A and B are shown apart, each in its own frame.
Chain A
Amino acid sequence: MPVDALWTAAGAVLVAVFGILAALFLLGIDRIVAARMQARIGPPLSQPLTDLRKLFTKENVVPENAIPWLFNAAPVIALASAITILFYIPVGGFPPVLSGGGDLILVMYLLTIPALALVAGGFSSGSPYATVGAQREMVTMIAYEFPLAVVIIAIGWKLAASGIPLPFTLASIQAYPIWGLVGPLGIIGALVLLFVLLIVTPAELSRIPFDTPEAETELAGGVLVEYSGKNLALFSLTQGVKTVVMASLVVALFIPWRLSAMVAAPPAIQPILDLLFYLVLVVLVAFVSVSLVRVSMTRFRINQVVSVYWIYFSLIGIAGMLLIMADHFLTKSVPAYWMYFPVLLPGDLFMTIAGHIMGVPWP
């Protein structure tokens, strides 16, 4: 129906604008927080906006031995796909704009497109540094896709096994948070999965310790070495929007509660409360997984990046998934199995109390 389509289109535009503003905000907060942790003052909050404005006024240089159409198209594709992902994830505390259009599997595939655009841009730059950077970005992407897939599949499986229809859609995940569906073993498994997702985030965003594609002191800028002007501005904005996307994903999967549901608030200010709560959560997730990690470690070598993800975090992710599966089967056969494991009792007590506070049913 045309009216519905119009509303959806308006919502999409609103989400796109909000995504860009939130991206600039998150980038600014990240820089200030990282600076304060290093005992510096840091730039003002509006610095990413100033940088972008300056970049848009600079000349857009296309190297002579680059492939011009791909060189100029890559940043646009990256930004467009990053914003598209926002349409399928709940942002601002509101349900996704294109709710029925796609689920987590689509989000996972869409997440590869900005990285592929970066790789294409690097290869088409015609510089040896960019080529090495693009190769590293490809290898990093291959490395972190596996733990990411493990996390998404584990959550989807749990919802499917609990008999919830359409297990991979974000609407179901919002309605049935993972914490309420599992016993204590599963809580541990879900925490493990949250940890894995938080560590996959810096690699998605090409941040230290996984920023081998853009290693500043090794590769003179790596993938982005030949980019300048409006193209570089679009790539920077893409990184910011991807930060919003990953943080929103973590919040949507693992912290899906809305403030207005917990606090009895009049309907007029409910959306504002939700929005503020969402912003607080997203800033917290970005702080833990981007800023704190970025300032406390050195950069890894590319073979270390691959071994960290393929070996260590894949094993950890699979362990988390196995914990959830074990919990599921134990619960089915032995209800309240945790009573048999005294060590799990305090956890059960904690979850009961927490559940009462948050209004989430604890079986």
Chain B
Amino acid sequence: MAMIRLPMVPELLRQLFTKPATNAFPARYLPPSVTEFLSQVAQGKAAINPPVPVPPKFRGKIAYDRESCIGCTLCLKVCPAHAIEFLPETKRIRIYITQCIFCSQCNDICPKGSLHMTPEFLLACENRYAESQIVE
């Protein structure tokens, strides 16, 4: 060990004085009670730090335009996760977000362009069949 070289040290000392690279979403430190924090946010007493903004054409939650759909069921044939259900009585579809893998293959195959992806990605929920988890 003729000469110890530690090239990381100048970088570390420099980083001591620069802004941290962490995005402090949703809060800087863990609040003592998460549910209380969320209720405070709902009342407007506390704020959530915004997440990193999503780029355009981000593949988030799917959106379905009932009016333009013709019930051709092509989207069912191409969905890898079998997340789309066809309702024969109304000739419309129902998409289950909990199954969806957000590949947007159904968007590509739809002849009428009734499906497109929105930038929404905060989709966690405790109930598999809640209203927010089913798109129809």
Contact = CB atoms under 8 A, between A and B. Distances in A.
In their complex, do chains A and B touch, with some C-beta pair under 8 Å? yes
Contacts of B20: 35-36, 39-42
A36 B13 CA distance: 9
**Top 10 A-B residue pairs of the complex, sorted by shortest distance between their CB atoms:** A39-B21, A37-B12, A41-B20, A39-B15, A41-B22, A296-B9, A37-B16, A296-B8, A44-B29, A36-B16
Q: Considering residues A39, A40, A44, A297, which has the most beta carbons from chain B within 10 angstroms of its beta carbon?
A: A39
B6 interface: yes
A38 interface: yes
B127 interface: no
6 contacts: A33-B16, A36-B15, A39-B22, A40-B20, A41-B28, A43-B29
Given A296-B6, A312-B1, A37 B13 contact: yes
A39 B29 contact: no
Interface string A18-51: 0000000000000001011111111110000000
A38 B73 CA distance: 52
A40 B9 contact: no
Chief secondary structure at chain A's binding surface: loop
Interface of A: 33, 35-44, 292, 295-297, 312
Nearest to B20: A41
Interface string B6-46: 10110011011010111010001100000000000000000
Contacts, number: 37
A143 to B, nearest CB: 16
Contacts of B24: 41
Interface of B: 1, 6, 8-9, 12-13, 15-16, 18, 20-22, 24, 28-29
A39 B16 CA distance: 7
A2 B21 CA distance: 59
A286 B12 CA distance: 16
Contact of A297 (B6, B16, B21, B29): B6
A44 B24 CA distance: 13
A296 B29 contact: no
Nearest to A287: B16
Contact of A38 (B9, B15, B28): B15
A37 B6 contact: no
A292 B15 contact: no
B1 A38 contact: no
A40 B20 CA distance: 5
Given A35-B20, A292-B13, 9 more contacts: A36-B16, A38-B12, A39-B20, A39-B22, A41-B24, A42-B20, A43-B29, A292-B12, A297-B6
